[in-house]
């Protein structure tokens, strides 16, 4: 991808100005909405998480929230909107952001009731404490998606929402202090290869000094089968890798993040 950005990260130049070529194979792996060359709305399952959930999932401190942050595979989450409202600096990257606010809003309306109905049949996979019920979950998710939608068009104009996907990100080396990957890597291990995970981690660590991934589980609430091999390769490559427990658990057993830093 062609990238045109100024060095450094001053507020006056945030976010950087990037140029995306028209057909640069954003979607390198055949899966879900990270597909080969075209994202269609009927591949998207809208389900946004709140700013507060992001704080808990990644154990984010006030100092970390003041850093240069990237949310990767962030879809309909309210983290960008919430952090921007608090004066933070963040860019979110997802193929979803090729669509307009109206298109995304319509897709949310078309799928929301179906998602809640499916959750009624899989309640045993979740911990109903902070979120008390399926109905409560629906309210939390809709509030987050509404906040995202209210911020989306302005955020796109400001360059805070960028269409793009792993394993190729359109940023310079070490451009971010912290990259957050939510509910993508590990979760879809049945469909995304170990090689894809390794390529994605290498790319994330190219553009960010630290990477945090949550959760470490697959869709069936099992530890990802790729975790050991990917961790071993990262250690061989000289990175520091740790599994850290966090004060957040909704998917049953999903209360750990992987933290990877340059040694």
What burial letters (b/e) apply to 172-190, b meaning 16+ CB within 10 Å? Answer: eeebbbbbbbbbbbbbbbe
| Bond prior to 203 in cis (omega within 30° of 0) | no
Q: How far apart are CA 18 and CA 1, in angstroms?
A: 9
Do the domain assignments include residue 9?
Answer: no
Express each pLDDT in 174-205 by its tens digit: 999 999 999 999 999 999 999 999 999 999 99
Q: How far apart are CA 193 and CA 226, in angstroms?
A: 8
| Residue from 86, 89, 43, 50 nearest 182 by CA | 50
CATH at 245:
3.40.50.150
pLDDT band at 41; cut points 50, 70, 90: low
Specify the pLDDT at position 135.
Answer: 95
Decide the pairing of beta strands 208-214 and 256-262.
Answer: antiparallel
**Which residues of the chain form beta strands (DSSP E)?**
68-72, 89-93, 161-162, 176-182, 208-214, 239-245, 256-262
Do the domain assignments include residue 40?
Answer: no
Q: Rounded to the nearest 5°, which phi and psi values hold at 86?
A: -95, 10
In eight-state DSSP terms, residue 217 is: B
Residue 44 has pLDDT above 90, yes or no: no
| Burial grade of 9 (CB within 10 A; 0-12, 13-18, 19 or more) | middle
Specify the pLDDT at position 18.
Answer: 36
Average pLDDT, rounded, for the chain: 86
Q: How far apart are CA 73 and CA 214, in angstroms?
A: 12
Do the domain assignments include residue 10?
Answer: no
| Bond prior to 22 in cis (omega within 30° of 0) | no
Do the domain assignments include residue 244?
Answer: yes
Residue 160 has pLDDT above 90, yes or no: yes
Q: What is the mean pLDDT of residues 39-54?
A: 82
Q: Rounded to the nearest 5°, which phi and psi values hold at 178?
A: -145, 130
Do the domain assignments include residue 191?
Answer: yes
Do the domain assignments include residue 15?
Answer: no
pTM (predicted TM-score): 0.84
Structural domain of 152: 46-262
Q: Which helix (H) or strand (E) holds 160?
A: none
Percentage of the chain lying above the pLDDT 70 cut: 84
Count the domains in the chain: 1
Do the domain assignments include residue 230?
Answer: yes
Specify the pLDDT at position 27.
Answer: 31
Radius of gyration for the alpha carbons in the chain, expressed in angstroms and rounded: 17
Residue 5 has pLDDT above 80, yes or no: no
Residue 39 has pLDDT above 60, yes or no: no
Specify the pLDDT at position 97.
Answer: 94
Do the domain assignments include residue 31?
Answer: no
What's the CA angle centered on 244, arms 56 and 133, to 5 degrees?
Answer: 40
């Amino acid at each position: 991808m062609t990238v045109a950005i100024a060095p450094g990260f001053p507020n006056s130049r945030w976010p950087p100005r990037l140029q995306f070529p028209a057909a640069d194979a954003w979607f390198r792996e055949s899966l879900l909405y990270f597909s080969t060359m075209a994202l269609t709305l009927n591949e998207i399952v809208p389900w946004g998480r709140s700013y507060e959930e992001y704080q808990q999932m990644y154990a984010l401190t006030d100092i970390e929230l003041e850093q240069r942050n990237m949310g990767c595979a962030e879809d309909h989450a309210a983290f960008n909107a919430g952090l921007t409202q608090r004066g933070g600096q963040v860019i979110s990257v997802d193929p979803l952001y090729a669509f307009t606010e109206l298109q995304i809003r319509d897709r949310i309306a078309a799928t929301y009731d179906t998602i809640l109905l499916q959750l009624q049949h899989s309640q045993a996979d979740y911990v109903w404490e902070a979120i008390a019920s399926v109905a409560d979950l629906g309210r939390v998710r809709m509030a987050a998606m509404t906040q995202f939608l209210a911020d989306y068009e302005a955020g796109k104009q400001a360059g805070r929402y960028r269409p793009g996907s792993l394993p190729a990100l359109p940023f310079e080396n070490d451009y971010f202090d912290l990259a957050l990957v939510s509910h993508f890597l590990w979760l879809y291990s049945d469909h995304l290869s170990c090689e894809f995970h390794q390529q994605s981690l290498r790319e994330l660590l190219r553009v960010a000094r630290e990477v945090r991934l949550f959760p470490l589980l697959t869709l069936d609430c099992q530890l990802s089968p790729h975790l050991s091999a990917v961790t071993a390769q990262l250690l061989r490559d000289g990175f520091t890798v740790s599994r850290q427990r966090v004060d957040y658990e909704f998917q049953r057993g999903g209360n750990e993040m992987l933290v990877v830093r340059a040694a």
